[in-house]
Amino acid sequence: MAALHDHHDHDHGPARGHSHGHGGHNHGPVDTGDWRYAVGLIINLAFVAVEFGAGVFSGSTALMADAGHNLSDVLGLAMAGGAAWLARRAGGSRKTYGYGKATVLAALGNALLLIFASGAIAFEAVRRLAEPAPVMSGLIMIVAGIGFVINLATALLFMRDQHSDLNARGAYLHMMADAAISIGVVIAGAVIWITGWSIIDPLVSVAIVAIILIGTWGLLKDSVNLALDAAPSGVDVDAVRSALGDLPGVTAVHDLHVWGLSTTETALTAHICHDRGDSAALLTEAHALIRSRFGIGHSTIQLETEPSADCPTC
């Protein structure tokens, strides 16, 4: 574990320590794999062009609408990939935390883009319910089937990191939503081909929109919370406070803040009152506890022998 720094020259009252604990944590943002975004962009952009052309040729508004939705996801991948690239840039004298927050903004943008795309699909579906139109069901099934394979393969690139990186989760949800839409279009095309009921197409579209919105809600909620510097959903702040308070010699924990530096990194600051003589050992225990039990790699702790007069929450 890297050395911990215990400073006693801060003007915070008697016998206080101030420490930044990083342990073995790598402060560069997690490598989110830019190559995946590049691969997804190239393949899906090519498919958008093919699908839209097939829609024009067949007179299928469903294929053209799906191509438009896929284009929105290509833009979403571009934002996610750009954010991943920014997150790897080192911070400067003004952006001391670097560009990790760009991953949060990209995740929020992806959630909003999914909602907008769902609204566009629903609007088109309602219009087609009122005015069913004949379509070339065979061509629809072939093109949508190709789209399903491409979207599923792209989604699998991000599946492993979707639970640890909100940005990767956004890309994963985008691609899985596209895969669901594609398979829905294949099924609708098959039913239309067998029965001739063109109204099946918009009905399936409405069902798919509902699935997309349900899956997007969690992404939207988590990304908004991170944008507002709330604690990440996987961190129980009360449990952190209780764990720090249970350390030997700790008498109080206050001014505790936990927030996301990016979609993969979490930071913490806290004031700890104590009556232990060995403050360096207490700092070591506190940082190790925060890192090992709660996965928080960037922690800053101020030790106090009594509440500070200039601290509004002491």
In a domain, 265, yes or no: yes
What is the structure's pLDDT at 105? 82
Name the average pLDDT for the chain. 77
Based on the fold, state whether residues 146 and 271 are members of the same structural domain. no
The three-class DSSP label of residue 273 is: strand
Q: Which residue is associated with the tokens 């909100």? A: 166
* ∠ Cα 290 170 180 (to 5°): 135
Lowest mean pLDDT among 184-198, 232-246, 272-286: 184-198
pLDDT at 241 over 80: yes
Distance (Å, whole) CA 203 – CA 213 = 16
pLDDT (mean) for 111-120: 82
What's the pTM? 0.62
If asked whether residues 216 and 275 sit together in one domain, one would say no
177 and 296 belong to one structural domain? no
62 and 211 part of one domain:
yes
Tell me if 248 is assigned to some domain: yes
What's the confidence (pLDDT) of residue 6? 39
Are 142 and 210 in the same domain?
A: yes
Asked if residue 92 and residue 50 are part of one domain, the reply reads yes
Among 79-88, 159-168, 216-225, name the most confident range.
216-225
Neighbours of 133 (CB within 10 A): 14
Last residue of a domain, one of 207, 227, 247: 227
More confident residue, 82 or 105: 105
Domain endpoint, select from 174, 202, 227? 227
* Residue 257: its H or E element: strand 250-260
Confidence (pLDDT) at 205? 72
Residue 207 lies in a domain: yes
DSSP class of residue 30 equals: P
Is residue 313 predicted with pLDDT exceeding 80? no
- Tell me, yes or no, whether 172 lies in a domain: yes
The pLDDT value given to residue 191: 84
DSSP 3-state of 101 = helix
3-state SS class at 123: helix
Mark whether 159 and 51 lie in a shared domain.
yes
194 or 86, greater pLDDT? 194
Residues 57, 22 share a domain: no
Alpha-carbon distance values, 138 to 149, 187, 204, 250, 296 (Å): 17, 11, 17, 71, 53
CA–CA separation, 232 and 211 (whole Å): 25
Could you tell me the two tokens for 232? 């990440």
7 or 220, which is more confident: 220
List the CATH number of the domain containing 257. Answer: 3.30.70.1350
Structural domain contains residue 7: no
State how many domains the chain has: 2
Alpha helix stretches (DSSP H) within the chain:
34-58, 61-87, 101-130, 137-159, 166-195, 200-227, 237-245, 279-294
- What angle do the packed helices 279-294 and 237-245 form, to 10 degrees? 150
For residue 301, what are the CA distances in angstroms to 18, 43, 226, 235, 313?
A: 6, 47, 22, 18, 15
pLDDT digits (tens, 9 = 90+) for 267-312: 999 999 999 888 889 999 999 999 999 989 889 999 988 766 666 6
- The reported pLDDT for the residue numbered 240 is 95
**Residue 113, phi-psi category: left (phi > 0), alpha (psi -120 to 50), beta (remainder):** alpha
Asked, for residue 8, whether it belongs to a domain, the answer is no
Question: Does 258 share its domain with 221?
Answer: no
Residues 41 and 186 in one domain: yes
What tens digit of pLDDT does each residue of 135-188 get?
Answer: 677 888 888 899 899 888 888 888 877 676 666 777 788 788 788 878 877 887
CB burial of residue 189 (10 Å; 0-12, 13-18, 19+):
buried
The pLDDT, as a whole number, for residue 13 is 39
Task: Return the pLDDT at 248.
Answer: 92
State the pLDDT at residue 180.
82
CATH classification at residue 143: 1.20.1510.10
Nearest to 232 by CA among 241, 224, 222, 242: 222
Range of the domain at 251: 17-27+232-304
Per-residue pLDDT at 24 exceeds 60: no
pLDDT of residue 31: 44
- The Cα–Cα gap between 43 and 186 comes to 20
Average pLDDT over residues 8-32: 42
Q: Is 110 a member of any domain?
A: yes
- Please report which confidence band the pLDDT of residue 9 belongs to, taking 50, 70 and 90 as the band edges: very low
pLDDT, position 226: 83
Examine the fold and report which residue of 227, 245, 271 is the final residue of a domain before the chain moves on.
227
Confidence of residue 3 (pLDDT cuts 50, 70, 90): very low
Q: Is the dihedral of CA 198, 203, 209, 212 positive or negative?
A: negative
Residue 265, pLDDT above cutoff 60: yes
Instruction: Residue 33: name the closest of 95, 103, 97 by CA.
Output: 103
- Average pLDDT for 108-119: 82
